[in-house]
Structure formats: C-alpha cells, structure tokens
Structure 1
Amino acid sequence: MMEDIAREGPLLQAWVYWMMVLNTASILFVFHRVEARWVLAAWLVNIVFMSFLYETYGYTRILGLSHILIWTPLLAYLWHRRGHFSAGTWTGRYFIVLGATILVSLIFDYVDLVRYFLGDQAA
C-alpha cells in the first residue's frame, strides 16, 4: 500500500505520514492517559483492517471505510473526554491536534466512501 501512496502527490503523502506519526505518538502517553491507550488500540486495529481492505479491494476509495468505522467512534470518545485534558499541557495539545486531524481525515473518508458506492472506485 505504501508503494501506491508513494505514487500520489506530495500533499497526500505528507498527510498520510503526518497521520502515521501522530497516531504512533500516542505511545508517548499510554502510561499516563487512558485516551492514549484507546488511540493506540484504534491505530493498531486500523492498520490491520486497512491492510485487509487493501488486499481485498486494492488501492481504492473503500480504504476510507477503515477510518470511518474506527476513527468516528474514537473522535466521539475524544470529544466526550475533552474536559479531562487541558490545552495547556503537551498531552492536551496532542489530543486537540489529533482530534482535528481525525476530523479532517474523516471528511475526506466519508466523501471517498460515498464516491466509491456511487461507482468511482479509483484511488
């Protein structure tokens, strides 16, 4: 899958790498924050499920289904827990940036999934 992503434009590549780094960074907080444990768990499940989708359907718009099914509940959970972390801390800033990143990603993923089911099955 990374070979297909490498053929995309630099903005999409940067976005994918940003999400990878940001989700992996949850490791820095797993011993202190339950939210980080959920982020890491979602990230690992997402990797497995997206790999399955890629092997089954190839590099198509349906890959966004993985984010939709895993990150939509994660974003709702983080939103619900927002009162438990402060923007004045590194952890709080991390969750705010992560939540914003997930939200932007989900917007594209929902659009991609609708396009996929309407017949546009390209990458």
Structure 2
Amino acid sequence: MILQIWQSYRRLPLWVQLWVALILVPVNAASLFFITQPAGAWLALMAVGAMLCNGVLMLVERGFSKVMALPHVLIWTPMLGLILWLLTQDIADGFRTYLLILLAVDVFSLILDVIDTRKWLSGDRKIA
C-alpha cells in the first residue's frame, strides 16, 4: 500500500511534488512550533488536521486524487479567517511573520484546491 501511494505521488507533476514536499507540508507542519501563541493550538489543529485527513484519504484510495483538495477547502478556508484575525492582534513578530507565510502558501494552495474540488465533484475520481 505504501509503495502504491509513493508511486502515485511520483506520477504527479514534478512541480506539485516539489510544492507539497518542500513548501506545503513543512509550512503547515511548522504551526506546531507556535502552539503556545494566541490561538496557536487552534491554528495547528486546522493546519495539520487537514493534512492528517489527507493521510487517511491516501490510505483509502491507495494514492493521490482530487478528493484530497476537499479537506483543505473545508478546514483551511476558516483557518484563513483565523489567520487574518490574528494578524490584527498584538502578537510576537516571529509569529506574525509565520502567519504571513502560512497565509500566502495556503491561499495559493486553496486556489488549486477549489479547482480540484470542483473537478472531483464533477466526477474526476482517478488516482494519480
């Protein structure tokens, strides 16, 4: 099963593989370093929670498919509201910098995720 998931990942376009491995996952996982900041636990729950949902989906589907965009849309959309609210608060500079990076990364990701969610809802259920 793990081999099937890995092979599916490797069938994704190279830029997607690099985006996921070098930017998307590390930036969202970094939320765990800010868990003690204001609303940091909620932020980490949402940032990492969407990725954990995708782990389950990968196991069920034995690979990557467009359904993996759905947890991002459902969980990260309200997370963006939390980030925007936190940016209006008196927070540590390092946390503010991280939030700006997370916001940029996840807004870009959500643009792609909305497109993939629409494709999945329209019947595109193939595994990469």
TM-score interval, smaller chain: 0.7 to 0.9
Question: Which structure ranks higher in relative contact order (CA pairs < 8 Å, sequence separation ≥ 6)?
Answer: 2
Whether 2:14 is the aligned partner of 1:19: answer no
Distance 1:35-1:106 versus aligned 2 partners, 3 A rule: same
Distance 1:2-1:100 versus aligned 2 partners, 3 A rule: farther
Q: Distance in 1 between matches of 2:121 and 2:108?
A: 21
- Indicate how the Cα distance of structure 1 residues 59 and 81 shifts in structure 2: closer, same or farther if over 3 A, else same: same
**TM-score, scaled relative to structure 2:** 0.80
2:43–2:82: 8 Å Cα contact kept in structure 1? no
Match of 1:34 in 2: 38
Mapped to 2, the partners of 1:60 and 1:9 lie a distance apart of 13
User: Does the 8 Å contact 2:80/2:103 carry over to 1?
Assistant: yes
Distance 1:27 1:113 in 2: 27
Post-superposition, which runs of at least 4 consecutive aligned residues in structure 1 deviate over 4 A? none
Aligned to 1:49: 53
Q: CA deviation at 1:82?
A: 1.5
Measured against aligned partners, the alpha-carbon deviations of 1:10-57 in whole angstroms (never above 9, x if no partner) come to 2111211211111121222222x1333222212332233212323334
Q: TM-score, normalised by structure 1?
A: 0.82
Out of 108, 114, 117, the position equivalent to 1:113 is 117
Q: Indicate the RMSD between aligned Cα atoms, in angstroms.
A: 2.1
Partner of 2:82: 77
Contact 1:85 1:92 in 2 (8 A): no
Number of matched pairs: 121
Gaps of 5+ in 2: none
CA distance in 1, matches of 2:78, 2:6: 26
* Distance in 2 separating the partners of 1:84 and 1:120: 41
